[in-house]
Amino acid sequence: MTFSPRVLAPLAMLLAVPVASASADDGAAGDQLARSARLMAAGNATGARAWAWKAVRANPDMAAAHLALARAHLALGEGAQAEGELERAVAAGTPLAGVQHLRAHAIVLQGDGRAALQAVGQALPDHRVYALRMRGLAMLALGDLAAARANLEQAVAAAPRDGDAWTDLGRFRFVAGDLVGAIAASDRSVTLRPQNVNALVLRGELVRQQAGLVASIPWFRRAVAIDGYHHDALIELAATLGDTGHSVEMLAMTRRAAEARPTSPRVFYLQALLAARAGRYALARSVLERGGPGVLAMPGGLLLAATLDMQAGANEQAATKLGQLIDQQPMNLNVRRLFAASLLRVDAARNAVRVLRPLVLRADADSYALELVGRGLERIGERAEAGAFLDRAAWPVRAAPAPFSSDAGLAVLQAAADEAPGRPDVAIPYIRALIEAGRPADALARAQRVAADNPGAPGAFLLVGDVLMTLNRPADALTPYRRAAAIRFDQPVLLRLIEGMERTGDAAGASGVLAGFVAQNPRNLMALRLLADRQLAAGRYDDAVDALEDIRFRIGNRDAALLAALAQGYAGLDDADAARRYGEGAYALAPANAVAVHAFGLSRLVAGDAAGAVPILEKAVALAPDQAVLRWRLAQAYAGAGRRTEAATLLRALIADPRFVDRPEAEALLAGLA
């Protein structure tokens, strides 16, 4: 069959059009692909993804463009998107065997360890190091830590200059609790690839654990400077900024993270948290609702949602959420308190008591938990037991922190520890039980063995220190406590260091450690309270009031001990009105608490009403007769009210008490009464 020239000419023109377009598209796609590669090499995976996507749009049949886009998705942790692009690359002509290592990566990012192992088993020998990394991550997803460690260590041994392999190993060690090993691996990764955003984010997370919030911020900023829309880097920076009080910048980072990943549950959680901190509870609830079930799958999101439910009076919904969270975090004491409070509000007093009983059986139980249990027992008619807990709640001094008691027998715990000698999570309950059973020497031997087997785990050193403290060897305990602090300087380490230093007479060292922790973690409520207590004791009332007012702004006016401390601070500043306001508030909340009663009496004394202060301070002394500071205030009130004989009797007793620290002032007051 032949065509006439009249037919062939239009046909030739028609055929020439797509050929010319394809050539132009190939050129555009090639240029875009080159830009993507340059950005990827510079660490900007988000930018690389954008240009790879343009290349795919310019030429959907270009396998290299789909591969570049898949690699960018993998660098950003987007497993499902990466798997889709790999399928398109194979459809465009890429051999399936050549991308099996990448498929394994995409699949493991989606949490399917078994499918990832199947894919990595078909990887080519040329991709051995990548395959070892993915096999390690797949084993980690399946919970086989030993196999995960072996594969990841093989990867870095085979390619000691592969920064990604070191990052994977560092992340594994972090998850496994080996912080020393994680820090070493992340240092190596950042040294090898300073532009590796994932390595910088890991380094920031480790510094946050090791040194504190403030020290970690520069690492997250470095990551964001390289890739301004890297979701994980933005989220970590936003969360850390929020925890250090930089709310405006936190909001800006979350908005940018939302642009990078509009459906991110972590974005919705952080924005809702920010709104709740600002007191905009309706907005916080709205943001959480828009975040969907993904936010409630996060422990923090579940806790925030429950807290907002309680604020709105939806106590049954709050109790349901907190019950789910207790199942996930049974040792979280703050969650137990909230759960019990929500149960009391829905008249489930018996359940509230059961939730809090493991906490209030501890010697160091806080007054709020004790009061909740007392009120719960009252509601179910157990008034005698309720009275005992309410009496403890009113006592101004708490015992030193203690671990949870184990319900299991020592034999059972020992058997479990002997079967898994290398696992500190199994050994620790047994060691705690040995301490509580009065066998500290056995506990110390076992703890030292755990620490030797786990030199990168701070918890192992804390355990050794705790046993030494039980043996009344605080100077020896400071060594393992300091080793733990060098790995991870967090709240439990801080409390132990302070206690150890104070028991060895190093009060200045304890104050220095506390000040350093607050400098790195300026919004940590526990540390701020400890710092304020020390400032009050040292007469630094301005500083104490600033810290206490910051705490009050964040937690409200329902903490009697906080209001009492504020009354004391303002009394020290001779601000009688503020001292009276906070003293009355503390007393209204806890009229049977010696600290609150003292604050009320002190506020009267500062206002010049010594006669009115006397009966209040007498009540405080009756509640806590062993507290010298209360008797000192009462002596001052007696003197101010003209009751010289009673004042002199109290003062002589105080001066004879070796624990009394204000002896010169008491002697001067006594001399003035003569």
**12 or 288: which carries more pLDDT confidence?**
288
pLDDT in the model for residue 18: 39
**70 or 558: which carries more pLDDT confidence?**
70
Residue 21 has pLDDT above 50, yes or no: no
What is the pLDDT of the chain when averaged over all its residues? Answer: 88
The mean per-residue pLDDT over the stretch 141-149 comes to: 93
pLDDT in the model for residue 652: 95
Tens of pLDDT, residues 193-248: 999 999 999 999 999 999 999 999 999 999 999 999 999 999 999 999 999 999 99
pLDDT in the model for residue 363: 60
**541 or 370: which carries more pLDDT confidence?**
541
Residue 648 has pLDDT above 50, yes or no: yes
The Cα 558–Cα 66 span in angstroms is 58
The Cα 45–Cα 56 span in angstroms is 16
pLDDT in the model for residue 262: 93
pLDDT in the model for residue 426: 66
**419 or 535: which carries more pLDDT confidence?**
535
User: CB-based contacts of 571: which residues, under 8 Å, 6+ apart?
Assistant: 579, 602, 603, 605, 606
- Max CA pair span of the chain: 135
The Cα 569–Cα 537 span in angstroms is 10
Helices (H), 121-246: 128-141, 145-158, 163-176, 179-192, 197-210, 213-226, 231-243
User: CB-based contacts of 180: which residues, under 8 Å, 6+ apart?
Assistant: 455, 456, 487
Tens of pLDDT, residues 561-605: 899 999 999 999 999 999 999 999 999 988 888 899 999 999 999
**pLDDT tier at 408, thresholds 50, 70, 90:** very low
36 sits in which H/E element: helix 5-41
Q: 453-483 burial string, b = 16+ CB within 10 Å, else e?
A: ebebbbbbbbbbbbbbbbeebbebbbebbbb
pLDDT in the model for residue 3: 35
**pLDDT tier at 412, thresholds 50, 70, 90:** low
**Token pair 């701020």 in the structure block, residue:** 528
pLDDT in the model for residue 635: 95
Residue 401 has pLDDT above 50, yes or no: no
Find the range with the poorest average confidence among 131-135, 253-257, 489-493, 576-580.
489-493
Are 338 and 325 in contact, with CB atoms under 8 Å apart? no
pLDDT in the model for residue 369: 78
Find the range with the poorest average confidence among 145-154, 233-242, 324-333.
324-333
pLDDT in the model for residue 362: 62
At position 634, the amino acid (one-letter code) is: L
Residue 5 has pLDDT above 50, yes or no: no
Residue 524 has pLDDT above 50, yes or no: yes
Residue 12 has pLDDT above 50, yes or no: no
pLDDT in the model for residue 442: 86
pLDDT in the model for residue 454: 81
Find the range with the poorest average confidence among 83-87, 113-117, 188-192, 505-509.
505-509
pLDDT in the model for residue 355: 85
pLDDT in the model for residue 199: 96
The mean per-residue pLDDT over the stretch 163-174 comes to: 96
Helices (H), 42-99: 45-58, 63-75, 79-91
Tens of pLDDT, residues 310-328: 989 998 999 999 999 988 8
pLDDT in the model for residue 372: 82
Nearest Cα to 378, choosing from 387, 369, 370?
Answer: 387
pLDDT in the model for residue 458: 86
The Cα 594–Cα 392 span in angstroms is 11
Tens of pLDDT, residues 467-483: 899 888 999 999 999 99
Tens of pLDDT, residues 110-136: 999 999 999 999 999 999 999 999 999
